[in-house]
Every structure is written in C-alpha cells, then in structure tokens.
Amino acid sequence: MLDLVDEKFVIEGGCRLTGSITVNGAKNAALPVMAACILTKGASRIRSIPKLTDVEIMGRILECLGLSVKHLEDGSLEMGTVDTTKVTAPYELVNEMRGSICVLGPLLARRNAAMVALPGGCVIGQRPIDLHLKGLRAMGAEIDLKDGYVVAYATRLRGTEIYLGGAHGSTVLGTCNVLMAATLAEGTTVIEAAAREPEVQNLAEFLVKAGAKISGVGTNRIVIEGVKELKPVDCQIIPDRIEAGTLMVAGAVTNGDVTVENIRPDHLSAVVDKLREVGVNVTLGRDSCRVRGGRMTASVITTLAYPGIPTDLQPQLMSLLSIAEGTSVITEKVFPDRFMHIAELNRMGANIQKEGPSAIVHGVPYLSGAKVMASDLRAAASLVVAGLAARGTTEVRSIFHLDRGYEHLEERLTGIGAKIKREADTKEY
C-alpha cells in the first residue's frame, strides 16, 4: 500500500475566478501509453506527463515488470525494458488504480505470460474486466482467475474478430488492452464496438509511430495487422479533457471570466454545447476557451461514451446544476451507480434525489459551506467546484482521491482568484 497523507482542502467560497489556467496532460491517456512501453525494444520518451499519484503508481508497477522509468528535466518520462523475465504486477500497487490492468495485453504479447492482480481504483460501481479477458481469450490466451490475480499464458497470440460492446457501451481500457496485444499478434485483428475516446486514439498514435499497422482509429471498428516488433518513439500526451471540463465548470459556477489554455476543442464539443445550453458563455480558440458565467438554467444531461458527455464530468456538472434555476435531470449511462457525491452536495444545501440511474436536481439559490468527504476522484472535483461557489467555508476531506487526477489543483486555482489551501486533516469529522 502507498502511504496516503491525510489532508483536506479548506475553501473560502464566493470568490470570482478570473485569469488564465493551463490544462496538463491527460492521465487516462498517459497510463496506457506507459504500459505500451512494455511492447517496444529500446527507450521511449513520453512528453506532457502529469505529476499525479496514478502516474507514480503506474511507474512503480512497470519497474516491477522490468522497465526503467526515468523522470527527465523537461517533465517527460524515458521508459525502456531492462528485464523481460518479470510478468507479475503485484496486488499492493494494482489495487490502488484500475488503469493498471492495461499492462495485461502488452505482457501477453511481448512476454507470453502475465500475472496481474485484479484492479482497484475509485468506488463508482461495478467495473468488471470480463471484456478484457474475452478479447484476449479470443486471440488464443489461456486465462484463469486465481487468488485475486489474472493468470494468463499465450505461446502466440493470433488475430481474430472481437466484439467489445458491453451493457454500458464500449470499454476504453478493454479496447486499449486488446489493441496493444494485437500489435504483435500473428495475422489481423478486428475490434468491433471499439472505444472511440481520444485517449484510445493517443495510444494508437504511439503504437503507429512505433511501427504498428492500425486503421480505423477514432471509429468503432479498429483493424490491426500484427508486426514482429515495435521500436521506441517520442510521444506527446494529449491535454486532459476532463481537467479542462472541470476548470470550465469552476469558472462558470463562480460567475467568473476564465481562459482555459492547452485544450483540444474537438475533444470537448458535447461539454461546450451543454454549458452554452445552460447559459454559460463559452468562446473557443484554436487551443483554448474563454468561459464567462451568466444566468444558469436547468438542463437534461445523459452521460455517454465519446463523443457524448463524459461520465467523468457528471459530478462536476451536477454541482453546477445544483445552483441553476429550475429542475435538471442527470442520467448516468456509463456507471449507473456513480452518485455517491449526491449526499455530500446535499450537505451543502443542494436539493438532489437519486432515482435509479438518474439524479433529479432541483436548483437552489446558493450552496453553503460544510465539511464534506470525497468518495472518489471525480466526486472530489465536484465538491471542490461546489466549495468555490458556496457561501462560507467548505472543508473537502480525503483529497488523496483528487491528487490521482489533478496536479497541484489548489495552487493553480489560487492563481486565478480562488481562496483554497491544503491542510493536514485532524479527522474531527
């Protein structure tokens, strides 16, 4: 287990955010790309890597798997294999982060074996890895679940047609796992119902630069022709669209005037459209957007796979709609149980009821500061957003969740006018 320091955010609400703030590299793109370094011969460089707990954990997992992980002065990572005999990703690390399961595919493809602990991560409902295993088994892997580990062998993976659709849509990490495994498989692999997310596309860009033969990226049908080996590359991680959306919402709820720099507007189309519908003034630039608050009104939101509204922005948008005029309905189609933040928002004066996979949000004139507890990464972000908008002081506890996905968030928000500081948590809760 990692030693997690007990800390909290103390937020003095009611401050209008103004100025510019820059988005970091995407965590959900960085983790699969880091895992893909298992596949290459030689050392690759990965640029725009965010300094996050999850990235640190993935680096430690890869070191356990025989990779050298070097942090360079420009903030990038240099990664390459130094020992190809190691195939075990230990429970103590994998249990901290679901994204670590994406080492399974590359281990099978490059080393013919893998022993990966079943993953942990945020508590946001059931997230089985059955589609990952289904895809790898279809390629010829023998897989068992034993003592909390996925134990897999494959003398040679073979290309085939694989359908990766699930009850709640395509699987992002499952697509990444099968995509990576297929690059070194014998023959052609076709992934139907593949995830289209920008993070999958970023991984494919890395693999193609390394010598993989991949077509259909960004569509629901990806075709991979196996090659014998992959070379090291220099790769750029895309901007984090979830962090960008969080910062946009923060600007809106404080009636601010915030320019969010280093974004990909094409990755945020659904979010921009919804914010404008609610009443937020959003002006897009080539790689930035200006967000100005206004009179916000209720809306209907449904989370969907890309290019829809991301599930990872649902909690933050709920905070925004909690102070919008009228009654909003938020329906969660990706993780139907992702509503643990409702109780904490209600502690701050919100009026939200859960009805099955939906939340009914009755807008209130204002939120009030309170002591609240973060249950997961995006719930933590929603509580910070709510605290910025609230009257009085908000204490957000268990912010180690937040540090998994947002780099030095309190310092960056302070730079645009927030009154927020990190303190030791005395656990008087």
CA dist list (Å): 71 to 18, 62, 82, 278 = 33, 14, 16, 42
Of 94, 185, 184, 104, the closest CA to residue 144 belongs to 104
> With 0-12 CB in 10 A as exposed, 13-18 as middle and 19+ as buried, what is 231?
exposed
Q: What angle do CA 279, 282, 284 make, to 5 degrees?
A: 160
Residue-level length of the chain: 429
DSSP 95-121: TT-GGGGGGHHHHHHHHSEEEEEPP--
Rounded to 5 degrees, φ, ψ at 282 are -120, 120
Q: Which of 217, 224, 227, 199 is nearest to 35 (CA)?
A: 199
DSSP class per residue in 231-253 = ---EEEPPB-HHHHHHHHHHHHH
For residue 113, list its beta bridge partners: 153
Catalytic residue among 15, 37, 122, 235: 122
| Tokens found for residue 227 | 């090659």
SS3 73: coil
Q: Are 41 and 230 in contact (CB under 8 A)?
A: yes
Active site residue 122: yes
Give the SS3 label for residue 209: helix
Which secondary structure element, helix H or strand E, spans residue 224, and what is its range?
strand 221-225
In single-letter form, the type of residue at position 103 comes to V
Give the separation between CA 49 and CA 339, rounded to whole angstroms: 30
Q: Which contiguous run of DSSP H or E holds residue 421? A: strand 419-424
> Which H/E stretch holds residue 44?
strand 44-47
Which are the catalytic amino acids?
122
